[in-house]
């Protein structure tokens, strides 16, 4: 029987939520509804494992205050933001070297060092958790059950269900 990792569960969650609105057969829709319900506890546990503790949240608020203070301002004194390398909006900071030095000093200060170290360790543990096996019973899907409009990216999220339905695995199983 096909095993699934927590990382694959997260990908499946995103895929199911993206394709739920598509017109599909009752069998496909039912499979998505059942699988969505089955993976909710895993998704909630992973979200809890990733959630920052209050002490880190306090540090992050102060870091964001520093961002707003050091950001370039418009005519009305409002901090300027622009898309960064990832496409997400970031504050426009003229002297990044000085800003980064201030953030590093804040990270290692007595007030925040423990919180930053603890959250860094928590995120490392979270990444390991994502690669662990999830306790989820998979329903099988067959290719003929897949509706029009499902993209190649969606198929990656559905792969465990397709394998449970008899499709060949993407990676050969170890002996």
pLDDT digits (tens, 9 = 90+) for 98-149: 999 999 999 999 999 999 999 999 999 999 999 999 999 999 999 898 988 8
Q: Which pLDDT belongs to residue 172? A: 56
Q: What value does the mean pLDDT take over residues 69-78? A: 93
The tokens describing 92, both together, are 């426009």
Q: 164 or 170, which is more confident? A: 164
User: pLDDT-derived band of residue 84, with 50, 70 and 90 as boundaries?
Assistant: confident
Q: What value does the mean pLDDT take over residues 75-86? A: 91
Question: What would the pLDDT profile of 20-70 be if each residue is shown by its tens digit?
Answer: 888 888 999 999 999 999 999 999 999 999 999 999 999 999 999 999 999
Burial classification of residue 140, based on how many CB atoms lie within 10 Å of its CB (0-12 exposed, 13-18 middle, 19 or more buried) = middle
* HEC per residue, 55-73: HHHHHHHHHHHHHHHHECE
Which of 170, 149, 125 shows the shortest CA–CA distance to 2? Answer: 170
Q: Which pLDDT belongs to residue 114? A: 95
Question: Is the pLDDT confidence value at 168 over 90?
Answer: no
Contact in structure between 36 and 10 (CB atoms under 8 Å): no
Residues 124, 126, 132, CA angle at the centre, nearest 5°?
115
Q: What is the pTM of this model?
A: 0.80
Alpha helices per DSSP H over 71-112: 96-108
Q: Which pLDDT belongs to residue 40? A: 97
The tokens describing 54, both together, are 């209050």
Question: Is the pLDDT confidence value at 155 over 70?
Answer: yes
């Amino acid at each position: 029987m096909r095993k699934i990792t927590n990382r694959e569960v997260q990908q499946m969650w995103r895929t199911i939520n993206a394709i739920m609105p598509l017109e599909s057969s009752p069998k496909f829709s039912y499979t998505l509804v059942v699988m969505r319900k089955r993976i909710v506890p895993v998704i909630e546990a992973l979200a809890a494992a990733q959630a920052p503790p209050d002490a880190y949240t306090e540090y992050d608020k102060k870091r964001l205050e520093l961002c707003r203070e050091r950001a370039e301002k418009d005519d009305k004194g409002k901090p300027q933001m622009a898309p960064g390398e990832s496409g997400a909006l970031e504050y426009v900071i003229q002297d990044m070297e000085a800003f980064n030095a201030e953030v590093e000093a804040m990270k290692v200060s007595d007030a925040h060092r423990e919180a930053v170290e603890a959250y860094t360790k928590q995120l490392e543990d979270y990444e390991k958790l994502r690669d662990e096996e999830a306790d989820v019973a998979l329903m099988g899907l067959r290719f003929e059950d897949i509706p029009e409009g499902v993209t190649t990216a969606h198929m990656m999220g559905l792969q465990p269900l397709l394998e449970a339905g008899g499709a060949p695995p993407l990676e050969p199983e170890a002996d």
